[in-house]
Structure 1
């Protein structure tokens, strides 16, 4: 099937483009994200090579240095900067061009985030902050590392508030009607990010910074871990919801269909806001100091996110079927044949959707009290992260990049780059299947996460793990080839592809879809419910930690 990568006339209609000033701001974020992909991907390749037992790091580089670089650059910097670049473009495209003040706030936020990234990365590269992505106490990093993380969070707040402000302006200008769906989703994601990142900001500013500066001798380890995971699990949904934005609003336009239901899409996002934050204890099921009742409550709340996930799956496959039927499909699954499999903008995100099926099943295992005991702190969990974030989310971002970057830079996706993007998606899928599959399998055999396995010597267990570690190295090498391909495509789309007007595809809602009820935009109500759930899940446990917890653990310095 011949694919069209621009509108039929070759021109994008007036009002359907992102303002050039906003595009410049969005691209600045994406440049940082792609740099993080290169450096973090290289660190990931070094990791799997070391774990295979066939490679030693040169120049005195520590395994935990590259592990920390990989986790922070890909898990936090790549995702956050790409998400903000996409969200800036989404708000500008659907709610209107940012005001000068809003754009200035966006640049300030970008500058603060970039400064924080440079500070934290410098300390890791100097081997003064090899404390891993989770920076658990009693490991201590240099205070500059913690200050850098604080800057990344605060900068994201500044940039996020600018996006929310544009949505508020649209609402004031357009009276009592639902705001643009994509901008609405951006607001939900920013609200969730601000609320959840308060936890890590408090931990860094009031615990880790004073401790690393020598102002206090002790840190409450349980409190610091609880504050981290108050942030850490919603972070997964901060990654995931932009992928859902693309699935709900962009993919229908690309495949020639329409959005199944505006109301369903908004409700699913609000449910993610409610049920993604008060669930951090399911990462702490094996930790003492937290009463079993509160762990059980948060496990229940964790399982509630299955509901909006299934709503999303239903909406997407309803859209796929509608498109297929409109193109003449008659059999039960014939509609799949009518989908544009030769269009990288659809194919790569679709692979991400499919990957979310086993990833979601693995998440249910991680969150289950009994089954979690089998895989807790094993490399199974790492394999799960690589299915959710590094496959579902990242492939969706790559698929979006193929139309987003040329739209923002005034270029077009050529048929040649489209074919190369398809090859890249296949390479990524093969590499991740091998690497993540090996991680899941050896995790069930008890192989630990966060380890290079060299400490296990020639033990019987270590020998049993060797084939799986080699498989991880093979898969990781293939993945690095995929990173090289996507970076080449990015450079082409940003600087060398032919000049033109690439469509920013935004789907329209089905004509017979239910009218969107206005209570879905009652922000006071939804934020109040969200805060109430957080207070319900955390107030008593925090009081108990203050009153009955240990005095803290003595930390030690790494530099």
Structure 2
């Protein structure tokens, strides 16, 4: 339990490490946001890219820079800050390992970005074979993954150090949550590391003629779906632990929070086939099994929703709220640290419903590979997660830079959150609608290139351009807020808000800290879900292509 009387502060040395990663994340926001604006303008049919820039070039920039770079850097920085303040300052060795990881990630990002900008890697963020990129693109992605492993290692080492010093005591909740996320990340990235190092990199270097495309796509989605939860769990960390403190309430249940994170660890990885429901080479029975496992992930999401709204209602009742929804009026709507993430929470309701449709064996066939999926993606990552990251930024950056969130910047932050919600309503809503009409994803929909657009899609493409333009304005406003909080806001002490546990909450049982059990179950589920399908993909690869199976 955190004593509210104690003013906790991230160590200055750890703060420098965290801020370095946040700087990169916001540079990525600017670059990726500009690429996104250009995309929606092109798809409107009323704009042509200048200077010979290709549509799929900016599509790759947008996906890689926002989906992989912004998220990985911000998440690593945020989790390291959480661990530093709750489990103790990193040792010099731990901090050095994390810095090495940061620089590897940065060098890898620059390598991949240069290849994309030179139009040598216009392969989208999924980089599916048989699309081929320059070998430096794959090498850069490898460095990003390896660097993230080192950043994760620092968190694991700090957790292990804390456990040795506090035997028989549950670890701090934020540290526990960060540990779950990095363990999931390490296990998941083994898949993308395997396909890049063993398949795509040798192929791009000309060492082999071809690769097993079915295996490559399966390894990507072994990683690709837990990637979604790698984005989401840091938002859950803020929702469970940070938001209660900001509103002046209590954490509803420590045990419920830990159980939900354990369930995400167990069920987020062996479910990649639900992204491949219409692909050949995978037996329908195995696809169905992974659909069932996918729906099990709904359980911790519902647990989270219950815990959050129980916290909100308990707080409201303590302030004298009456009636079924009287507590709603008691929430601090004028505080951007709460209001902006709350918009993200609300967006996760339709986002989750869309996810159930995507994962369904039957309904997925209506929306598969349509722009509906892109709209869903923008509700989950680009709204629920990103708005929560913005809400974290409003207090974390001034905390680390020794400044304060002023009333003026707080007001701008509220405007930024509302602008984002309006822009995303236009853009994501239009994507969902156009997807139901059959509009494909990953297409320019333009007379200047790509698939021709049907007449009924055109109004939705224009609505996307309107929404994307509003979102870009929100990005510019967010960058102004970030620069102000990092360099120009008044000097002062901004709180790192860590919620206290409700007096009615039961202590967390130590079984949650038994990683032999949880990692053992995780590995068994992965082996059960993937072993036979992988054997089938390797043994039954299409014949007639020289070297097709020479890597697997």
Structure 1 and Structure 2 fold alike (TM over 0.5): yes
Q: CA deviation at 1:547?
A: 1.4
Q: What does residue 250 of structure 2 align with?
A: 258
CA distance in 1, matches of 2:287, 2:167: 44
Choose which of 243, 268, 285 in structure 1 pairs with 2:235: 243
1:203-214 equivalences in 2 (<5 Å)? 203-214=195-206
Instruction: Say whether residues 1:343 and 2:343 are aligned partners.
Output: no
TM-score (norm 1): 0.96
CA deviations over 1:16-57 (Å, ceiling 9, x no partner): 000000000000000000000000000000000000000000
Aligned to 2:458, the other structure's residue is in SS state: helix
Q: What does residue 119 of structure 1 align with?
A: 111
Q: CA deviation at 1:454?
A: 2.5
Q: CA deviation at 1:461?
A: 5.5
The 8 Å contact of residues 319 and 330 in structure 2, kept in 1 or not, is answered as yes
Aligned to 2:127, the other structure's residue is in SS state: coil
Q: CA deviation at 1:459?
A: 10
Q: What does residue 443 of structure 1 align with?
A: 435
Choose which of 415, 423, 429 in structure 2 pairs with 1:431: 423
CA distance in 2, matches of 1:512, 1:458: 59
CA distance in 2, matches of 1:158, 1:239: 18
Q: CA deviation at 1:550?
A: 2.0
Q: What does residue 521 of structure 1 align with?
A: 513
Q: What does residue 222 of structure 2 align with?
A: 230
Q: What does residue 147 of structure 1 align with?
A: 139
* Distance change (3 Å), C-alpha of 1:132 and 1:17: same
Choose which of 140, 149, 164 in structure 1 pairs with 2:156: 164
CA distance in 2, matches of 1:90, 1:553: 51
Q: CA deviation at 1:462?
A: 1.9
1:514-553 equivalences in 2 (<5 Å)? 514-551=506-543
CA distance in 1, matches of 2:544, 2:202: 14
CA deviations over 1:239-259 (Å, ceiling 9, x no partner): 000000000000000000010
CA distance in 2, matches of 1:334, 1:89: 35
CA deviations over 1:448-479 (Å, ceiling 9, x no partner): 00000126999995222111100000000000
* Distance change (3 Å), C-alpha of 1:13 and 1:405: farther
Instruction: Say whether residues 1:485 and 2:496 are aligned partners.
Output: no
Report the aligned-residue RMSD.
1.6
Aligned to 1:219, the other structure's residue is in SS state: coil
Q: What does residue 409 of structure 1 align with?
A: 401
Q: Would you say how many aligned residue pairs link Structure 1 and Structure 2?
A: 545
Aligned to 2:168, the other structure's residue is in SS state: coil
The 8 Å contact of residues 221 and 552 in structure 1, kept in 2 or not, is answered as no
5+ long unaligned stretches in structure 1: 1-11
Q: What does residue 106 of structure 1 align with?
A: 98
CA distance in 1, matches of 2:52, 2:427: 26
Instruction: Say whether residues 1:93 and 2:79 are aligned partners.
Output: no
CA distance in 2, matches of 1:383, 1:278: 24
Instruction: Say whether residues 1:504 and 2:496 are aligned partners.
Output: yes
CA distance in 1, matches of 2:495, 2:100: 29
Instruction: Say whether residues 1:18 and 2:10 are aligned partners.
Output: yes
Q: What does residue 366 of structure 2 align with?
A: 374
* Distance change (3 Å), C-alpha of 1:294 and 1:414: same
Q: What does residue 23 of structure 2 align with?
A: 31
Aligned to 1:309, the other structure's residue is in SS state: helix
Choose which of 51, 54, 77 in structure 2 pairs with 1:62: 54
CA distance in 1, matches of 2:451, 2:15: 55
CA deviations over 1:497-531 (Å, ceiling 9, x no partner): 00000000000111121121111111110000000
CA distance in 2, matches of 1:14, 1:165: 25
CA deviations over 1:393-427 (Å, ceiling 9, x no partner): 00000001000000010000000000000000000
TM-score (norm 2): 0.97
Aligned to 1:226, the other structure's residue is in SS state: helix
Q: What does residue 278 of structure 2 align with?
A: 286
The 8 Å contact of residues 112 and 141 in structure 2, kept in 1 or not, is answered as yes
5+ long unaligned stretches in structure 2: 548-552
Instruction: Say whether residues 1:357 and 2:357 are aligned partners.
Output: no
* Distance change (3 Å), C-alpha of 1:335 and 1:402: same
Deviating more after overlay: 511-520 vs 431-440: 511-520
* Distance change (3 Å), C-alpha of 1:402 and 1:371: same
CA distance in 2, matches of 1:124, 1:459: 22
CA distance in 2, matches of 1:553, 1:335: 65
Aligned to 2:454, the other structure's residue is in SS state: helix
Q: CA deviation at 1:548?
A: 1.4
Instruction: Say whether residues 1:400 and 2:396 are aligned partners.
Output: no
CA distance in 1, matches of 2:13, 2:453: 57
Instruction: Say whether residues 1:190 and 2:157 are aligned partners.
Output: no
Instruction: Say whether residues 1:299 and 2:287 are aligned partners.
Output: no
Q: CA deviation at 1:269?
A: 0.1
CA distance in 1, matches of 2:128, 2:546: 13
